[in-house]
Amino acid sequence: DDLISKTLNNLLFSESLAVNHLHEQYKFSPWSINLFHYSLHSIKKTLQSNGKIVVSGIGKSYKLAKKMVATLSSFSINSAALHPVEALHGDLGVIKEGDALIVISSSGNSIEISQLLNHVDNEVKIILLTCQRNSKLERNEKVNSLIYAELPFSCKEENVYGINAPTISTTLLMILADCFSVCLFKSLTNDDDERKILFGNKHPGGAIGEAYN
């Protein structure tokens, strides 16, 4: 019981430390802030030109991609999730000319994502959501921008509990994906009432639907 309590408290402390560090990063790092704004502007232009957002990732990152698409869809933002392996077996048709692609990779070294990018048209805007500032994907000539979540060394999973299972890193990536989605929604639709209508119309059921409808 003491071991479990110690592990729990250590994990909660590390998670909160990493989230606080992310907050400080986007408060004081002009490089991170500017890239976030540039990425947002690129995606906004895509949507205003009748393109859609395609989000991809492998492993836990694909689950984050599906969560991001679910959030965007609830905001009436045209989006789709794409598994990089399935893409090489026909699903590549999900990405159309004029779309934008957000790829999620904590390490920035996902082989499956690199293979996917080899077959994506050069006209597609590609944004990398990652915890690694310097990586193979970041150096890929097709990647146009970066949304970066800095993971402190002391908060890396292997340093916290001995194995590098994606937990703290996925927390940071999900937070940034949520922030990006909400900021995009507000950027596209300035009026609070209009946003409530768009959101409410996509939630006819459950407690959310009852609150909005």
Show the 3-state SS of the chain. CHHHHHHHHHHHHHHHHHHHHHHHHHHHCHHHHHHHHHHHHHHHHHHHCCCCEEEEECCHHHHHHHHHHHHHHHCCCCEEEECHHHHCCCHHHHCCCCCEEEEECCCCCCHHHHHHHCCCCCCCEEEEEECCCCCHHHHCCCCCEEEECCCCHHHCHHHHHCCCCCCHHHHHHHHHHHHHHHHHHHHHCCCHHHHHHHHHHCCCCHHHHHHHC
pTM for this entry: 0.94
Question: What pLDDT shows up at residue 191?
Answer: 86
Average model confidence (pLDDT) across the chain: 95
Question: What pLDDT shows up at residue 26?
Answer: 98
Confidence at 126, pLDDT banded by 50, 70, 90:
very high
Confidence at 162, pLDDT banded by 50, 70, 90:
very high
Q: Which domains does the chain have, with CATH numbers?
A: 1-211 (3.40.50.10490)
Question: What pLDDT shows up at residue 213?
Answer: 67
Identify the residue with better confidence: 100 or 206: 100
- How confident is the model over 96-119, as pLDDT tens digits? 999 999 999 999 999 999 999 999
- How confident is the model over 10-23, as pLDDT tens digits? 999 999 999 999 99
Whether pLDDT at 210 is above 80: no
